Every structure is written in C-alpha cells, then in structure tokens.
Structure 1
Amino acid sequence: MSPENRSAKDRILDAANRLFYSEGIRAVSVDAIAAKAGITKKTLYYHFKSKDDLITAYLTSRDQPNLALFRTWFDNAEGKLADKVEAIFSNLSQSARHPKWKGCGFLRTAAELANMPGHPAMKVGAAHKKKFEAWLCEEFQDHETKNPGELARHVVLLMDGAFSTVLVHQDPEYLVSAGRAARAMVAEAS
C-alpha cells in the first residue's frame, strides 16, 4: 500500500514510531509528528486526544512485532534451548550495529517517564516486558528446566541490562556477552 493510501491514523502512528524512537518522546513535538505524517495537527488530535495517548499507541504498536521477532529468532536458532536463548541476544547484537538502532523503545520511554509511574505508556511497557518474561517461562517449562520463572526473570535482567550498557558504551558486544551468560544459565538449568 502506498503511503498516500494509508489512513491518517496509520501515517500518524508511523511518524510517531520513527520520531519517538529516533529522538525520544520528550524531544518530539506533536507539530513535528503531524508534519512527518503529512496531516494537520487538528487531524492528529482527531485520532489521538493527547500526546500521551499517542505515546501509548506508539508503544502498543511495537509490542507484538517485537515479541514476534524474538520468537522468530528463538524458533529459527539451531541447537538446544540454551543456544536458542543465546540466539536472541546474538540477533539483538546484530540489530544494535545498525546506525539507526537506539536501544529498547520500551526502556527508553520508561526512562523518560520515570517520574510518571501511572502514565498509560508505562503500563504498556511493563506489560510488554512481562509478556516476554512469561513467554520465556513457558519455553523453559516446556523444556523442563529448573526454576523456569526465576530463570526467565534472570534472562530478562540480562537483556535489559545489556540494552542499557550498549547505549552507554555504544558497543553491541555487551549483548553478545549477555547472551553467553544467558546461555550458561539456561544450560545449567536444563
């Protein structure tokens, strides 16, 4: 579908995704999103009653595609369970090498909204992180690992820590190291 044939709401959300991810939610104005979407600010507010609603929709739109991508990397990886978990980190490391990569949009948004714990986008981000952890737990249960819930939580901590460290040092190798640590933990629990 050509950009001109997409709905105004889809164009707004696409513009918000690109701008919020690349520049941050506080740095991007509603005017900039409207301009990028090729619509008026009035049209933007017709579809989203506030910038907060748009921020929430931005994260919501990233939820399932991100989870599906992690599942694909896991499912396509060769080897045992530990190898599949490490593959998620390896693929993230490859993604982090792209010049437009800015880390985890959920964590970056949470950092910008840290003083607003009740913000709807914070709830969307927390739910996304819990869905990933729950999915890992299910995989670990299916593979009969020891303490699947705790193991899933440890892998999530490694991933989110690696996301942050890569941003601080601008070095995707931290994701590779975190993947090796996750692999070792999963192998030990298997």
Structure 2
Amino acid sequence: MTHDTAPRPRPARQRILAAADELFYSRGVLSTGIDAVTDHADVARKSLYNNFASKDDLVHAWLEQRHRDWRGYYDARVAAAQGEGSVDGAGLVLAVFDAYLDHAMAAGEGFRGCGLLNTAAGYPPDSAVRQLVRRQKQEVEDLLALGSPTHADMLSHLLEGAVTRAGLEGSPDRLHRAREQAAVILGARTVPEGGQG
C-alpha cells in the first residue's frame, strides 16, 4: 500500500483568509479589493463569495483570525510561564506585552503595528468593524486586569500607545520599551522577555 505524501491543497476559505491576512495587513483593508484577494489566493471570485457573504464578512473573519492568532501567543506565554512555576499578576500582565511582541516579530520586516487598529481607523465610529475591534481590545484590557486590576487602564494605554507608535515607525522597539515600563509600574523584578526571571 502506498501513501500519497504530497501536501493536500488548503481549502479555498483558508487560502482566502491567508491572502486577506497578507494583503489587508500590508496594504490596508480599504486599499485592497476583492480581485486582489482572489488573485493572491488563486481562487475564483465565486469561491470567495461561496465562503464569505461580502467583503465586510471577509474583513470580520480576518479580524477574528488575527485576534485568535494573538490570543494563541498570549496563551502560549502563560503556559510557558506556568511550566516554569506559578505565574503572579506581573507575569500575567507581561505575558500580554510579550504576546504583542511575538505578533510583531511574526510580521518581520513588514511590521505595520496593530492590524485591528489600522483597520478600525478606516471605518466610521458606529460601524460593525469598530464594534468588533472595541470588543477585542476590551478582552486585552480584561487580561491586563487579571494581572493588575488597579493598573489595567494605565497598562492598556501604555500598550496601545506603544503599538501605535511602533507601527508608525515600522519597528517593535516601542513595544520592548513599553514592556520594561510595565514592569516598573507593577514593581516587578526584572523579568526577561520570553519567561520568568
């Protein structure tokens, strides 16, 4: 019995989301048309509409995927810290900052800041996109509050300001500094990025 070891092609929905991730993040949602996404995904336009009701539906699915990706980085950071011992409040907060750094590093040379904020900026305040991003950002603030209820608002402002400036500068340096500042705010001993110190 022989087994075909050739990789199976990814379903059209996955290819479309991967193409949207690359193009929406690098070019911006409003600057990227459906044809660019379908060409990049190597699918027919009909395939896109078989999987997504509209471009707005695709944008929502993409934003949800980006947030899930970030949450995966956060969960991995917390799990790694737990594997090294107990995680205190400062460790939970710094895991949020580390997850932002992990997401930034995954973008590599193409780092443009927070894809959620970049996208929300192009939509009206009462739009469904803005509402979704607000919920996602509130989840991040809630995670900060788990580690430091009294400083969550301040830490959220520090984090979001740093990621915005980092995106403008095309470098995660501001996020590294914000992480150091968060440790100072929390009165934490110096905790190296990547784990408990």
Question: Shorter-chain TM-score: what band?
Answer: 0.7 to 0.9
Question: What is the CA-CA distance between 1:155 and the residue it aligns to?
Answer: 1.3
- What is the identity, as a one-letter code, of the residue corresponding to 1:136? L
Q: Deviations over 1:1-20 (max 9, x none)?
A: 9462x222222112111111
Q: Deviations over 1:131-175 (max 9, x none)?
A: 1111221233xxxxxxx0x41221111111001111223343211
For these two proteins, the number of residue pairs brought into alignment is 177
TM-score, normalisation: structure 2: 0.77
2:33 match: 29
- What is the identity, as a one-letter code, of the residue corresponding to 1:33? V
Residue from 10, 20, 28 that aligns with 2:14: 10
Decide which moves more: 159-168 or 87-96. 87-96
Kept in 2, the 8 Å contact 1:106–1:125? The answer is yes
Residue from 113, 133, 137 that aligns with 1:125: 133
User: Matched residues in 2 for 1:83 and 1:55: separation?
Assistant: 33
Residue from 111, 115, 118 that aligns with 1:108: 118
User: Matched residues in 1 for 2:102 and 2:18: separation?
Assistant: 23
Kept in 2, the 8 Å contact 1:81–1:187? The answer is no
Residue from 42, 49, 52 that aligns with 2:46: 42
- What is the identity, as a one-letter code, of the residue corresponding to 1:172? P
Which consecutive residues of structure 1, in runs of 5 or more, have no partner in the other structure?
A: 141-147
2:24 match: 20
User: Matched residues in 2 for 1:17 and 1:129: separation?
Assistant: 19
Same amino acid, percent of matched pairs: 31
User: Matched residues in 2 for 1:49 and 1:37: separation?
Assistant: 17
1:76 match: 80
- What is the identity, as a one-letter code, of the residue corresponding to 1:168? L
- What is the identity, as a one-letter code, of the residue corresponding to 2:161? G
